Structure 1
Amino acid sequence: MAKNKTKNKRIIFPNNQGGKIAALILGIIILIIVIWGSVIAFKKPSTKDALTDAANTKIETARVDVKTTNSKAKLYSNYVVGPNNTIHITMKSIPKSDTNSELWANNKYVYHRDGTKQWNYIKQNAIFSKVYSGYKKLYTAHDFSQFSDDAFKAMTIKANGFNGYLISYNGDNRDVIRGMQNTTTVAPTSNPQLTNVKSIKLRINVNRKKELTEMYYKVTYHSKKEGTLTLHLYDINQVNKLKVPSSVTKNAKKLDFKLK
């Protein structure tokens, strides 16, 4: 009987010792988190160091959302760049216009449709390759070395959790605006004059290795005719799969297109 009584006895920590141990472990974890966060905060790079290194980020795949608003319309564009030069582009305007369209492309073919449901396709060629080099600028325009020292000083940097750092700015600083224009301009002639820009809101995320992970900026112009331009670059090197859907390829009609 003595043996059975011993077996049935519940072993507990006296004086709630288990709770004290659990509290001690939790306290240690919190202390480690606080120390680690402090190390990240104190060791954070300058905006110049972070952005100069981020400029070297090689972007192979990404997603880009672009929104333009003015006194006449709103235009939404979405670009997805996947592996092996596969691209998906959608454009939508409010009110609806001829700019509403969708495009898929890979190394062999370009598929396109406008406001209709009919898909058409042509073979890839030099002309379209040149056009796509312009689209590529949307997600590879991050040469932040274009910023001046005064622009770097105007921006702020802070720890973004444990993953990296956030560089931000919101205002009308001419140096920041000029630097961002030089960094992101697709073509020199397509960029509005500096005097036309009223303000800029900017957020740039980099990881602990100071590689670019996300970029957002919104440009507001003085004239309502020009309105605003917003660009959001994200999922950098995270688009692992992108394929032209079979619903597009099986219904597409070939267009006769000859280079002269």
Structure 2
Amino acid sequence: MSRYVALMGDRQTGGRESSSPARTARRGAVVGAVAVVLVGAGASADAVSDTPVSEPVVSGAVVNSGHDVIVGITRNVVFPVTVTGSDDSGLSFADVDLKGPHGGFYTTDAFCETATSCTTTFTVNAHPAPGSDDPVDLANANAGTWSVDALVDAVDGDSVFAPGAGSFSLKRAAQLTVNAAPEPVAKGARITVTGKLVRANWDTYRYAGYAGRAVKLQFRPKGSSTYTTVATVNTSSTGTLRTTVKAVKDGYWRWSFPGSTTTGPAKAAGDYVDVRS
């Protein structure tokens, strides 16, 4: 699986370091300053060891403002990851890795915008990249729960590595259609409501039927803004839906899918049926 390239320099994964020029220069300056202070002041080892040292702390990571990341087949999906923490000198820089099922991996880094917060942005996709021999970043097997690892630097040069600082769900986008017929229909007669549930296939760059899923049939009376569930129907082997209901009043019919561990939710646009006495 191809990786999203870090925005600043290359990552050395074994040592959990980023080799961006700005970061390397900053660390060198801090080390050099410490050496000058120690030599110039003639500080003893005992004096240094008695000085309290505050280590940076990572308190957590929030992905996409707490929402699932849902990816289709044609567009890039851009979302933020915010790492929070603290240090007496303030936080300075963060490397962030996203790790998912079956080798899913993205990495990038950013300077912290406040002393306690570092936000970086990720771009993921599952569509062909023109001219690329490895045209896809995501595969179907990558859908599911992902974890967040963070390596955070403080202004004074201290660092902390926080594996599993957060988690989120990366899901395949779903779509639903609906058709209610006949229309118009006599009051008390039965109407047939059909539809189809499909979801993004990150391996083929197409949408395909989602089989064996429970989908709710909902109705909204004319003049109302609220849908009520009338029935629950399972999709066929090709993702199709079909049921019959009695026509009682004018209104809108739709299918609603709540989503699954690997697939986002979907709602069909309401199909209006005119019921005549």
* TM-score interval, smaller chain: under 0.3
TM-score (norm 1): 0.21
Q: Name the one with the larger helix percent.
A: 1
Question: Which has the larger strand fraction?
Answer: 2
Question: What TM-score, normalized to structure 2?
Answer: 0.20
